[in-house]
Structure 1
């Protein structure tokens, strides 16, 4: 029997699960209160706090790190890698997450917590299915500004898991199918998964609005908004990717609240909600044309996929492209553990992490000259 620990840090929670083979034996989602977060303005400031949460979880359930075959962590804000799958948490990744991350996000703490936990042991720590896999068609990265290369980012962990789950349900392998998969959460992102590779994508800042994201905004309006003096650079980034979407329209990020407004006769809520669904449908169509409409199945997953109303609005618009399957919720902890088991069983490779941050030539340089994002 192989025991694995999965760690998944989100903005305001630390999710932990203990697996025995593929069976989740213990799990918890531990809140990080906003009042505590306010005392830790930088993501790295939270490392000791969240590590203590994980060690407390292990103590509560009588679990020992020494019994583990592997720690599998959600990938943090590393730089782009060439393949999906598993990467070892090596010195370069640790230095990158500490001193030169691609962005400020609590997910970066997942691997660092793993390293802290296994110190002094030979238990390996890996990440699985990072958001930043650059295996897309080169044409997908071209923009109208030569200096701006659109690098792929999407919710890969949950969408690849959804792809595997659907494939198994129809007696196929994930790498035999072409799927458009939409992750419907606080941010909405979509990918065109062709035979195991994401060949094109729509990230949560370039597609539909979502509960927390502005989505695609015409540049003529966005330029004016950025220079109207109401927000500085960091405030604007946080607004577009945290305070916009349904949160800006209605002061709530919960689609159930918006649906309750619609039931109560709020026509503005109905219009905005339908616009969000239309945005998802447009993005599905956008990805379908990349392979001239040759798509085996469209999958809707994530928390919003629990809404029959929302998924019906999307399905009604896109079912002419391919059949639609709804796989509600997230299975990120299971995806982490299953990925780790495939690595331990020799079914998948474990890649070395070799992506230096832009502008750096060595680990020593990263440590000596931290990024302003660190």
Structure 2
């Protein structure tokens, strides 16, 4: 019996780009990145206003590749700022599109993922889905406690890539995903970590609670932060930027580029080495923190994200965490593939898609 062939378009909108790829089952047919003119983007009042411009860009890419939309089996879009969701797939429908268009939790580029998928899929009467949206929240109640009742800990991490690399690693180890405990650290512009136990992400370190990163301050001394906010040096916007965008490597070394930092280290810059090693030190501490959630019973630790391409960074981290469990390095972000593979499991009947219910 011949294998059924499914063709899936994956769409991942970013703040200044739209990335797409088409897959035939697990095989990538082609991948494109459309860079959007910053001046043009500034003319739009909201992300949703960019819908038609981005849709046209996607359709032009498909046309350039000689690929017909009618060949598609489904369209997968990056999940946006919806209320907390379960892991896995959600079918995109009018209710979800309406929420993302008129009531999004935040005006974020990822909101366009579902809407673009829905628009393109509807034209040929095929289904559209989001998968492992940025708002997946499976925290246990004990993990929500922060120490201040008014401040509830929330799940916020690189869900799509983290779960995808965990599924890949389980397959590589010939283990049932739901019988494993993984600690995953995603290292990009922000750094997050999660513990996946029994297939669920039961706790996370957000990019505000864990290590400093190329652009984020991460966890900082709270009393000093309060003092800084009331020092008269910052308003709300500038204080936020100091923590997100102007923190981490940017604050210490004036760059968010790990390659530039490594070049400084190679040229003998001891301060750059201290800071870069400090980032590795904090990543390792965060992984150790996550390991305690499952009482040290960790089957594998996974390092992923763009910074995982740095052998210097991963070597420093592995030196500190190798005693906990074996370490797998799965560098890169792989979001387009993760979207396609997730939807492929739905089309094959291996997973069931959820339906979105607006609050």
Distance across 2 between alignment mates of 1:208 and 1:353: 33
Shift of 1:34: 2.9
Moved more, 216-225 or 198-207: 216-225
Correspondence for 2:25: 21
1:211 aligns with 2:214: yes
Match of 1:39 in 2: 43
| 3-state SS of 1:199 partner | strand
Post-superposition Cα deviations, 1:256-306, rounded to whole Å, max 9, x if no partner, equal: 100111111212211111111111111101111111111011110111111
Q: CA deviation at 1:230?
A: 4.1
Alignment partner of 1:245 out of 248, 254, 272: 248
Residues 1-374 of structure 1 mapped to structure 2, 5 A cutoff: 1-40=5-44, 42-81=46-85, 83-356=86-359
> 1:17 aligns to what SS in structure 2?
strand
The range that moved more, 124-133 or 26-35, is 26-35
Residues in 2 aligned to 1:243 and 1:93: alpha-carbon distance in whole angstroms: 34
Residue matched to 1:372 = none
Q: TM-score, normalised by structure 2?
A: 0.94
SS in 1 for 2:124: coil
TM-score (norm 1): 0.91
Whole-angstrom CA distance in 1 between matches of 2:84 and 2:358: 7
Higher mean Cα deviation, 256-265 or 225-234? 225-234
- Do 1:66 and 1:123's aligned partners in 2 also have CA atoms closer than 8 Å? no
Contact 1:211-1:245 at 8 Å conserved across structures: yes
Offset of 1:130 from its aligned partner?
1.2
C-alpha separation in 2, matches of 1:196 and 1:44: 33
Bigger Cα displacement from structure 2, 286-295 vs 101-110: 101-110
Does structure 1 conserve the Cα–Cα contact (< 8 Å) formed by 2:74 and 2:121? no
Structure 2 unpaired stretches of 5+: none
Would the aligned equivalents of 2:93 and 2:118 in 1 still touch at CA under 8 Å?
no
Alpha carbons 2:181, 2:294 under 8 Å: kept: no
User: Could you say which structure has the greater relative contact order, defined with CA pairs below 8 angstroms and 6 or more residues apart?
Assistant: 1
Measured at CA, do residues 268 and 38 of structure 1 come closer, stay the same or move farther in structure 2, by a change above 3 Å?
farther
Aligned length: 355
Is the 2:99–2:358 contact (alpha carbons within 8 Å) kept by the matching residues of 1? no
Report the Cα offset of residue 231 of structure 1.
Answer: 4.1
Listed as ranges, the gaps of 5+ residues in structure 1 are 357-374
